[in-house]
Amino acid sequence: MVASPTLILASASPQRRTLLKKLGVAFRIIPSRVSEKSREKNPLRLARELARRKALAVARKYADAAVLGADTIVVCGGEIIGKPRSKKEARSILEKLNGRWHKVYTGVALAREGGKIIFDAVALSRVKAHKLPSAALAALAGKHMDKAGAYAVQDKKDPFISRIEGELDNVIGLPLKAVRKLLR
């Protein structure tokens, strides 16, 4: 595991916090406040870039810590889908994903020594959404504004997802297999 006395999770996500706790490592939470805007159009490179940016933003302020950054994006029909900015946009995203397969990429990066990336990775999962009627989509829209794709697979009451190929933890926001490798 990480030799540094301090591990920082550069995320305010409660889901990432819960997943990281499963690994049994001690950590602090210091959310990064970096922009998620980028010109990058390749989803794998975008997920990696944003995870690195988040880890570095915090690591530059805490030279004695190892900082874990992560970013999750959804891709459907070649379109990169982030977090919805409005209930209307959430509804539009859910309609786009409705009944279709899409991909979820989560980039993770570990930074140390005041701002140096020592390891990064990107996990990919394929996700199939149920085909839901318009009224069900309207009811779901706006419930998960802080999630890429506007849905929360960990919410047992959310009927949107029917199948996942790949790591569930990746779809939730922190691929634990990759994180274990980062922390070795």
CATH code for the structural domain at 6-183: 3.90.950.10
Confidence of residue 36 (pLDDT cuts 50, 70, 90): confident
- The residues, ordered by sequence, that sit 6+ positions from 129 with a Cβ below 8 Å of its Cβ are 97, 98, 99, 100, 101, 102, 151, 160, 161, 162
Per-residue confidence (pLDDT) for residue 5, from 0 to 100: 52
Q: Is the pLDDT of residue 1 over 60?
A: no
Dist. CA 134–CA 148, nearest whole Å: 20
Marked catalytic residue, from 71, 120, 146, 155 = 71
Q: Is the pLDDT of residue 156 over 80?
A: no
Query: Region 8-34: what's the mean pLDDT?
Result: 95
Dist. CA 109–CA 117, nearest whole Å: 7
Stronger pLDDT, 114 or 15, i.e. the higher one: 15
Q: Is the pLDDT of residue 19 over 90?
A: yes
Annotation says 71 is catalytic: yes
Per-residue confidence (pLDDT) for residue 3, from 0 to 100: 44
pLDDT in tens, 126-155: 999 999 999 999 988 988 888 889 998 987
Stronger pLDDT, 37 or 5, i.e. the higher one: 37
Contact predicate 105/123, CB 8 Å: yes
Summary count for the chain: helices (H), strands (E): 6, 7
Domain segments of the chain as ranges: 6-183
